[in-house]
Chain A
């Protein structure tokens, strides 16, 4: 899938930023789950 490649100039900063955002989002989902499941 060609479109999944990062742009050449920003490959490194982008990969770090996107991974960091994903991890924050996933931890956020976990916290929301905890608030719903563990009252």
Chain B
């Protein structure tokens, strides 16, 4: 018999509130029609005045500099500049998509549904986590491209010299600290685990030897930041009494994600120039990579 042994609660639709209802025709249909009309006309006008780009024909021998992925993948490409390729390109987005899909199974309380910012501190939480994510992401990007060290040096004359050089960006922790030679190749398996290392490329782990400084810089620090910083945000909001329920925690997390996505896309689109250098948008120059025409 396929009946449940234990009666588990199943969410059922709410009963209809018939006295609060209006007819779909015309009230909803008309609104849908107007929105379709506005967007059609708006996009037609846009299409009349702005052409879709078409560059030279595809040529595998000529690489434009910078080569960028489509804009919705630029946030991943930006992440790629700060951590290991497998992490940035696959692990982070997959983990995030699974987390995103799991939201409703974490927050099952029906309170505050059906209206914008209906729970008590929701507006404040959204604003605070949005601001923190915005400023924090910018600061992290600026730090990791060495701009903060440069800024401190050129505006305030502060310089840590050689002793503090390892703090300039994340990668310099690998090269500027006096790591002992043995830490760059710690053998932890007596055989080479080829199945996981199908790429044949190097990396902090080659599934036999561990390059500890490389692993630290490419995986440990990014993972700590990606997991630790949102946790820190939610924890501090909880300690301050703003975050009370699971919904509040998800609000902070989701808002943070949206803002981080936006900042990474913005930086990847408008602020990365040749060689993926951080430049101001008006200094953005794309070299078409044609041999003999590099000076652009």
Direct contact of A and B (CB under 8 A): yes
Chain A residues at the B interface, C-beta cutoff of 8 Å: 1, 4-6, 8-13, 15-19, 22, 25-26, 29-30, 33-34, 37-38
Is there a chain A Cβ closer than 8 Å to B46's Cβ?
A: yes
In Å, the complex CA distance between A5 and B284 comes to: 18
Is there a chain A Cβ closer than 8 Å to B50's Cβ?
A: yes
Whether the Cβ atoms of B38 and A26 lie closer than 8 Å is yes
Is there a chain A Cβ closer than 8 Å to B194's Cβ?
A: no
Whether the Cβ atoms of B42 and A22 lie closer than 8 Å is yes
Question: Chain A contacts of B35 at CB under 8 A?
Answer: 30
In Å, the complex CA distance between A30 and B185 comes to: 61
Is there a chain A Cβ closer than 8 Å to B96's Cβ?
A: no
8 nearest A-B pairs in the assembled complex, by CB-CB distance: A13-B270, A13-B269, A26-B42, A11-B53, A4-B51, A16-B71, A5-B51, A9-B286
Query: Do A8 and B286 form a contact, CB below 8 Å, given A15-B50, A30-B34, A33-B34?
Result: yes
Contacts A10-B284, A12-B53, A12-B269 supplied; 16 other A-B pairs, CB < 8 Å: A4-B49, A5-B51, A6-B50, A6-B51, A6-B53, A8-B286, A10-B281, A11-B55, A11-B286, A13-B269, A13-B281, A15-B50, A17-B270, A18-B46, A26-B38, A26-B39
Is there a chain A Cβ closer than 8 Å to B184's Cβ?
A: no
B interface: dominant SS:
helix
A interface: dominant SS:
helix
Whether the Cβ atoms of B38 and A29 lie closer than 8 Å is yes
Q: List 25 A-B contacts (CB under 8 A).
A: A4-B51, A6-B53, A9-B286, A10-B284, A11-B286, A12-B53, A12-B71, A13-B270, A13-B284, A16-B71, A17-B269, A17-B270, A18-B46, A19-B46, A22-B42, A22-B46, A26-B39, A26-B42, A29-B38, A29-B42, A30-B34, A30-B35, A30-B38, A33-B38, A37-B34
Whether the Cβ atoms of A9 and B71 lie closer than 8 Å is no
In Å, the complex CA distance between A11 and B51 comes to: 10
Chain A: minimal CB distance from B39 (Å): 6
Is there a chain A Cβ closer than 8 Å to B31's Cβ?
A: yes
In Å, the complex CA distance between A8 and B269 comes to: 14
Question: Chain A contacts of B284 at CB under 8 A?
Answer: 9-10, 13
Question: Chain A contacts of B34 at CB under 8 A?
Answer: 30, 33, 37
Question: Chain A contacts of B71 at CB under 8 A?
Answer: 12, 16
A-facing residues in B11-59 (Cβ within 8 Å): 31, 34-35, 38-39, 42-43, 46, 48-53, 55
In Å, the complex CA distance between A5 and B71 comes to: 19
**One of B31, B43, B53 near A34 (C-beta < 8 A):** B31
Whether the Cβ atoms of A4 and B50 lie closer than 8 Å is yes
Measured CB to CB, the nearest residue on chain B to A6 is B53
